[in-house]
Chain A
Amino acid sequence: MGFYVAQLLTGLANASSLFLIACGLSIIFGVTRIVNFAHGSFYMVGAYLAYSIVALFPGSILGFWGGVIAAALIVGLLGLVVEMTILRRIYRAPELFQLVATFGVVLIIQDMAQAIWGAEDKLGPRAPGLSSAVRIMGEPIPEYDLALILIGPAVLAGIWLLFHRTRWGVLVRAATQDREMVGALGVNQAWLFSATFVLGAALAGLGGAIQIPRESVNLQMDLSVIGDAFVVVVIGGMGSVSGAFVAAVLISVLNAFAVLVYPQISIVLPFVVMAVVLIVRPYGLFGKEGSGHGAPTEPEQPLRLMSSRATLVLMALVFALAASPLVASDFASILLVDLMVATLFAVSLHFMMGLGGMVSFGHAAYFGVGAYGAAMAVSYLGLPMIPAMIVGPLAAAVAALFFGWFCVRLSGVYLAMLTLAAAQILWGVTFQSQEYTGGDDGIVGIWPASWATSDQAYFYVAFALCIGGIWFLRRVAHSPFGYGLRGVRDSDVRAEAIGMDVKFHQWMGFALAGTMAGLAGVVFAFSKGSVFPDVLGIGQSVDGLVMVLLGGIHALAGPILGAGVFVLIEDWVSRLDYWRFIFGMIILGVVLLAPDGVAGGVDRLMRALGLRREGQT
């Protein structure tokens, strides 16, 4: 009995920090409708700052708690800087832009933290005065855990008072419901948003700061916590503070007991719980219908099809590509294969987002399943290359059909979060199923068939599959099915009214996009000769989003251009020190300066130079 109580208390102690970060995220989303990927970075910076400040006052109780609070306040200031320099400019941009911009901030903060604090883990001090354990029902419970258990509800109460007893809080609650109306009643939204962002960032900083006696501080904290924080926010209902509290407790306590039964479950459990909750309650426990939709964006432009001239240019590029092995070095051939893989991946993601209107934060799942499907077919079934290349996309299709069935039942941010959950579940399973997938060590020795081992020969294999896949997706985009999908994107009500099965259309679109991502994964696996779990990771998903964004979402040619630019930039930047910082800056530059992507930027440039008439695309 005592053991279970101890486990419960550990779960509750874990819940506090999770609640702090998640409620900050939820408050920010509620008011500004921004899904802030950089929230994990605020958490990480809070922990580092607390580590440094507390170290100035060793053994002092006041020094410890003062340091924790100072860290939170400084992170609040950091939030203000981020809000005023970046987010303020993109409140009306589509979700994709906001997500990618905040991911740019993640990259920048990662490298800045590394420059300031170094790459080694930092071990924080014990909390002075709370460094021993008390016995509860015979079990030793760290005193600090008990303090944490109190901090969560105390912060919840503080936020409640702030939101119900101050004018500012009333305005925040009103803005969570209808921020345009709040503006029409004379409230300057810019300051309301800034203040909300500061509060949310400071809460995340506090969440990180109070963790220093329990966990080492490291550079991976940001992305490892953001997944859980998203889950908690979504389970609780976007924008709901009490929902975040209930969800944080639910996840942490469930986790504390589940690890007793199945120790590896930690990584997957939150995402499984989230998937279950969303299927039963599509807006989370305390969310409201529509609470998962981003800001009203500027009117959606119709998707631009390619002009005949652009098609000619593209055809010329394809022919040049086909001829390239005759002149290019082996190294260039390898880079071109990477380019084609990235392009197919981006085109498949664009198919889902640009055509189907479904934003995916987890498209890497299907890329990864394709890659692993082929790799496992080779290493376990002993299949040769060609059959393995069929198994991969089939596996991706099955996964996309399975997860897509759940995802298309939701919309907006909730849909995006469920795709993220699906990807994280698959990543967790892959990471932990050591016997089948090799876990962290991946699967190696996946080489092409003997006739295709030369870089030139494999180039043509990749060429056939990737260009074929892209061509196929473009054909589908122009088919009645593609028009139907676009109709659903532009107005699902109208599409429903004319008798279309909206969900089924979206499901098939999702599955097709997943299958083609799987094909890209297969080509990738054989070109590298190995697969590792990060092909399913958040990083890979975000890469795809960045490519689509770089190219511009409103043009069918966008992802092709975007993938090209992305691979070239990555190839160049990743050789530099602090490449994350540089890359983050590039992303922010694109989001802020060319929000319609490189394609749109070129378009505008040509118009400005008078090379193209207004209205011509």
Chain B
Amino acid sequence: MLEVKDLTARYGRAQILNGVSLRVGGNEVVALLGRNGAGKTTTMKCVMGLVLQKAGEITYDGVSILGKPSHEICRLGIGYVPEERRIFGDLTVEENLEVGDRPARADAPEWSREHLFELFPNLAERRRNLGKQLSGGEQQMLTIARTLMGNPKVVLLDEPSEGIAPVIVEQMARVIKELKAEGLSVLLSEQNLHFARAVADRACIIEKGTLRYEGGFADLDAHPEISQQYLAV
């Protein structure tokens, strides 16, 4: 589905990615693990067309998307849930969903507002509140719901468990499983190995802009020195 090959990226003079390659298959949840500053967010932004200085190959269903504007990438079926959530604070919850709304597509499940409000009951209660009035956990739900309004086939989920209460982290895990059950693919960026193990099929580990490991969690657990070296803080 989504394939990244030898991706390099820079911000100004700083080289951030030095040749990252990874694959997300159909209906697969892949965890992109790495410490803070490893390059997880940058990788996702490159896929989404939000980083200008990049080179390498990024293909979706065999078609190159490198250099396409981000709205076209979104329209192909790639949904992006940013780490900083980027809720429209001056818009109500419903209006936030409206911005994400896209027509249904044949190859992906369609999400209605009602369906999303079932998945995120807290949002249903606050549908007329402004984005900036929501708690951190509610904003995290809203940013996911907003992206799902675009009926994506692949979701790039950037650190959904960061900075929210443990109860909500559990809810996030349920949501990711639900996405997989609906037939979506997910690229999940994480620092937390336990959370990733609970929801993902495979793991990629990135460190200083370079991919260090790709494989199953069983292998990773059999070689604790790998996660020790690249993930422990």
A interface with B by C-beta (< 8 Å): 167, 170-171, 173-174, 177-178, 180-189, 298-300, 302
Contacts and interface: CB of A to CB of B under 8 A. Distances in A.
Interface of B: 11-13, 48-50, 52-53, 69-71, 74-75, 80, 82, 86, 88-91, 95-96, 98-102, 146-147, 150
A187 B149 CA distance: 13
A188 B71 contact: yes
B70 A170 contact: no
B95 A170 contact: yes
A279 B34 CA distance: 45
Contact of B90 (A177, A182, A302): A177
24 contacts: A170-B95, A173-B88, A173-B91, A174-B88, A174-B99, A177-B90, A180-B50, A180-B70, A182-B99, A183-B69, A183-B71, A183-B74, A184-B70, A184-B74, A185-B99, A185-B100, A185-B146, A185-B150, A186-B100, A186-B102, A188-B71, A189-B69, A298-B52, A299-B12
B148 to A, nearest CB: 11
Contacts of B12: 299-300
A181 B86 contact: yes
A299 B11 CA distance: 7
Determine chain A's interface SS by DSSP, over half rule: helix
A187 B71 contact: yes
- From A167, A171, A180, A298, residue with most partner B Cβ within 10 Å: A180
A187 B50 CA distance: 14
A298 B50 CA distance: 12
Contacts of B100: 185-186
Task: Specify the main secondary structure of chain B where it touches its partner.
Answer: loop
Contacts of B50: 180, 184
Given A170-B99, A171-B99, A186 B48 contact: no
Contacts of B13: 302
Contacts of A170: 91, 95, 98-99
B89 A177 contact: yes
Q: Top 6 nearest A-B pairs by Cβ distance?
A: A186-B74, A299-B12, A181-B86, A174-B88, A174-B99, A183-B70
B82 A181 contact: yes
Contacts of A298: 52
B144 to A, nearest CB: 12
Nearest to B100: A185
Contact of A189 (B71, B80, B90): B71
A182 B102 CA distance: 12
A212 to B, nearest CB: 37
Nearest to B98: A170
Contact of A185 (B53, B69, B74, B95): B74
Contacts of B48: 184
Given A178-B86, A180-B70, A186-B102, 4 more contacts: A173-B91, A181-B82, A184-B48, A299-B12
Nearest to B75: A186
A298 B101 CA distance: 29
